Structure 1
Amino acid sequence: MAGLDGFGTQFQRGDGAGPEVFTAVADVTNVSGPGLSRETIDVTSHGSPNAYMEFIGGLKDGGEVSIDVNYDPGNHDALIDDFDDDAPRNYRIVFPDADTTTWAFKAVMTGFEPEAPYDDKLAATLTFKVSGKPTIS
Structure 2
Amino acid sequence: MAGIDGFGTQFKRGDGAGPEVFTALADVTNVSGPGLSRETIDVTSHGSPDQWMEFIGGLKDGGEVSLDVNYAPANHDALVEDFDDDAPRNYQIVFPDPDTTTWAFKAVMTGFEAEAPYDDKLAATLTFKVSGKPTIS
Residue-by-residue CA offset, 1:67-109 (whole Å, 9 max, x unaligned):
0000000000000000000000000000000000000000000
Write the letter of the residue equivalent to 1:85. D
| TM-score calculated relative to the size of structure 1 | 1.00
Question: Using the alignment, how far apart are the partners of 1:74 and 1:93 within structure 2?
Answer: 22
* Aligned twin of 2:109: 109
Instruction: Kindly tell me the number of residue pairs found equivalent between the two proteins.
Output: 137
Write the letter of the residue equivalent to 1:17. A
1:7 positional shift: 0.1
Question: Using the alignment, how far apart are the partners of 1:96 and 1:2 within structure 2?
Answer: 15
Gaps of 5+ in 1: none
Aligned partner of residue 6 in structure 1, secondary structure: coil
RMSD: 0.2
Question: Using the alignment, how far apart are the partners of 2:112 and 2:84 within structure 1?
Answer: 11
Question: Using the alignment, how far apart are the partners of 1:96 and 1:75 within structure 2?
Answer: 23
Q: Runs of 4+ in structure 1 displaced over 3 angstroms? A: none
Gaps of 5+ in 2: none
* Aligned twin of 2:59: 59
- Identity between Structure 1 and Structure 2 (%): 90
Question: Using the alignment, how far apart are the partners of 2:97 and 2:65 within structure 1?
Answer: 20
Aligned partner of residue 75 in structure 1, secondary structure: helix
Task: Establish whether residue 121 from structure 1 lines up as the match of residue 126 from structure 2.
Answer: no
| Matched ranges for 1:1-137 at <5 A | 1-137=1-137
1:49 positional shift: 0.2
Question: Using the alignment, how far apart are the partners of 1:50 and 1:12 within structure 2?
Answer: 51
